[in-house]
Amino acid sequence: MHELGIAELARGLDAGEYSSEELTREVLSRIERLDKTLNTFITVDAEGALAAARGADERRAAGQAGPLTGIPLAHKDIFCTNGLRTSCGSRMLDSFIAPYDAAVVERLGANGMVNVGKTNMDEFAMGSSNETSYYGPVRNPWDTGRVPGGSSGGSAAAVAARLVPAATGTDTGGSIRQPAALCGITGIKPTYGRVSRWGMIAFASSLDQGGVFARSAEDAAMVLGAMAGFDERDSTSVEQVVPDYSAALDQPLKGLKVGLPKEFFGEGLEDGVRAAVDAAIAVLKEQGAELREVSLPNLGLSVPTYYVIAPAECSSNLSRYDGVRFGYRCEDPRDLEDMYKRSRGEGFGAEVQRRILVGTYALSAGYYDAYYLKAQQCRRLISEDFRKAFEAVDVLVGPTAPETAFGLGERADDPVKMYLSDINTLAVNLAGLPGMSIPAGFADGLPVGLQLIGNYFDEGRLLAVAHQYQQHTDWHRRAPEEQS
C-alpha cells in the first residue's frame, strides 16, 4: 500500500480492498521502522490516528465518504493541532499544546483525512536545510548524508520515503518547492491568500502560505482543493471561488505559452540540473507547448529584498515569545528583565536569533527608510517583472533550485551561502504568486526539480501542466531505497 498515491488509495478504499484502519496501521508501522534514521517526525499520534481511521471507516460504511476519507497524512509542525503538541521545531514551543485546530487541519479533517503526526522542520520555518530544528536535522531519503531542503524538510522527506502519501507544508521563500525538488516529489505553494493562515504559526506574515506535498500533481490537486478557500478568521484570506482542480487536470498543453526566464539559466546552475531541466522542457514542447524566452530583470534583487522583509516581519511576530504567557521560560529568573533575556536567549536557536536581530535593526529609527522601505520598493519592481512576463506567456518554467541536495553540515557556518539556496524561489513569494516543483530527473543520483510559476490564482493551470508532464514521464514514481 505504501507505494500507492492518494488517488490510487482512494480507489482501493472504495473497492473494499483494505480499510482506513489497515492503511493507517501500515503507515504507522513504516514510520516506527524507518524514521529512526530519517527523523522526519517530531510527534507521532498513533492513538489519535487509529481513532480517526476507524471513524473514517464508519463514514464509508454509512455511505458518507468523500474522495479523501480515510487517507493518512502528516502536518508540518507549524500548524496548530487541538490537544497535540505544536512545537514549530523550537525549544521555545516544545511543551505548547494548542487548544484548537488550524484552518488547514480543520478542513482536511472535515474531509476525512487521518492525521498521523507532526513533521520536523527548521525552527520557526527559518532555514533551507532542516538543520536548525531543536529536534535535530532531517535526512534526505535519497542520501542520508545530505539535507532534504527546508524549512518543510520533514514533510518532504516523509512523502519521498513513502512514510505518508501526503503532507502539509508552508512556503515563505521556497520552503515547499525547494525541499520538494531536493527530495524528488511534487510540492505546490498556492497564491498568497488562497489557503487560510489561521492557526499557522507566523514567521513573515506577508510571505507565509500553506501548501501541499504529494507524489503527483493528481494527488496534490485533491488535497489543495480540500484545504483552499476563504476564511473570515484570516484577514489575509482572499474571497475567491476555488475551482475543481482535479477536473481540470486533463487540459492539453497544445498552444500553452511557456516562458523561460533567462535569469534562471545563468551562472551557478549545476550542469546536471541544467541537463535534467532542459530534458523536461523538451517534454513540454513535444506535447505542443510553445517556448519563449522572457526576462525577470530584477530577480537578482530577490535575495537582499527577502532577507530584509522576512527578518523584519519575524522580529515583530516573534516578540510575543517572552516567557510570560506561553512557551519556554527560563529557570529561576532574578527579575523580569532577566526572564525576558534568558527565556528568549535559551528558547530560540542561533538562526532565529540572527533573523530577529537583523529584522529589529532594519525596523529601527534611522534605518527603516534605508532598509525596510527600500526593500518594499524592490518588492514592487519584482512583482512588476512578473506582471509583464505574464502578458506574453501562460506559465514560467525553470529549475526549482540551481543544485541538488548538499551535505549535512556543509553550509552550517556560512549563512549567506545557505540563503542563496532559495535564489530561484524567493521572488515568487515576494510577488505572492503560485508556484510548484515537480520531479524532473536526477543528477549524480540525486533528484532535480522543475519549477512552474503561474499568474495569480492560476494553481489549476500549474497542476494541469504538471499532470500532463507526469503522464509522459515516471520521475514522480521513483522512490529511494529504504533506510532502516
Catalytic residue among 19, 128, 129, 151: 151
Q: Which alpha helices (DSSP H) does 186-254 contain, by range?
A: 217-227
196 is catalytic: no
Gyration radius of the chain over CA positions:
21
| pLDDT cut 90: percent of the chain above it | 94
Q: In the predicted model, what is the mean pLDDT of residues 300-314?
A: 95
Total residue count of the chain as it appears in this document:
484
Is 76 among the catalytic positions? Answer: yes
Asked if residues 113 and 68 have their Cβ atoms less than 8 Å apart, the reply is yes
* Catalytic, out of 175, 237, 246, 302: 175
Scanning 348-458, the segments in alpha helix (DSSP H) are 350-363, 374-389, 415-419, 426-431
76, 87, 90, 152: the active-site residue:
76
d(CA 89, CA 259): 37
Cell output for 367: 534605518
| pLDDT tens column, 134-152 | 999 999 999 999 999 999 9
**Residues above pLDDT 70, as percent of the chain:** 100
Residue 415 pLDDT: 83
Measured CA to CA, the distance from residue 157 to residue 141 in angstroms comes to: 6
| pLDDT value of residue 359 | 95
Which value, to the nearest 10 degrees, does the dihedral of the CA atoms of residues 242, 243, 247, 249 take? Answer: -90
Q: Summarize pLDDT for 312-355 with one digit per residue, the tens.
A: 999 999 999 999 988 999 999 999 999 999 999 999 999 999 99
- Does 364 participate in catalysis according to the annotation? no
C-alpha–C-alpha distance, residues 38 and 161, integer Å: 9
The terminus-to-terminus CA distance of the chain in angstroms comes to: 18
Q: What is the pLDDT of residues 78-95, one digit of tens each?
A: 999 999 999 999 999 999
pLDDT of residue 50: 98
Torsional sign, CA 392, 268, 309, 192: positive
Q: What is the pLDDT of residues 420-477, one digit of tens each?
A: 788 999 999 999 999 999 999 999 999 999 999 999 999 999 999 999 999 999 999 9
* H runs (alpha helix) in 136-242: 153-160, 177-183, 217-227
- Rounded Cα distance, 49 and 221, in Å: 23
- Contact (Cβ atoms closer than 8 angstroms) between residue 309 and residue 206: yes
pTM: 0.96
Q: How far apart are CA 313 and CA 430, in angstroms?
A: 13
- For the chain, list the domains and their CATH numbers: 6-258+392-477 (3.90.1300.10)
Q: How many helices (H) and strands (E) does the chain have?
A: 15, 11
Residue scoring higher pLDDT (1 or 339) = 339
What is the signed CA dihedral for 428, 433, 437, 440, rounded to 10 degrees? -80
Asked whether the CA dihedral 128, 358, 413, 398 is positive or negative, the reply is: positive
484: confidence class by pLDDT, cuts 50, 70, 90: low
- Asked whether the CA dihedral 66, 69, 75, 78 is positive or negative, the reply is positive
Calculate mean pLDDT across residues 397-421. Answer: 90
C-alpha–C-alpha distance, residues 257 and 291, integer Å: 6
List pLDDT tens digits, range 27-76: 999 999 999 999 999 999 999 999 999 999 999 999 999 999 999 999 99
Res 414: pLDDT: 84
What lies within 8 Å, CB to CB, of 36 at 6+ separation is none
- Say yes or no to pLDDT of 416 above 90: no
In this prediction, residue 418 carries a pLDDT of 85
Per the listing, cell 492503511 goes with 23
- pLDDT for res 420: 79
pLDDT at 419 (0 to 100):
81
**Closest to 381 measured CA to CA, from 463, 284, 295:** 295
Q: Is 105:199 a contact under the CB 8 Å cutoff?
A: yes
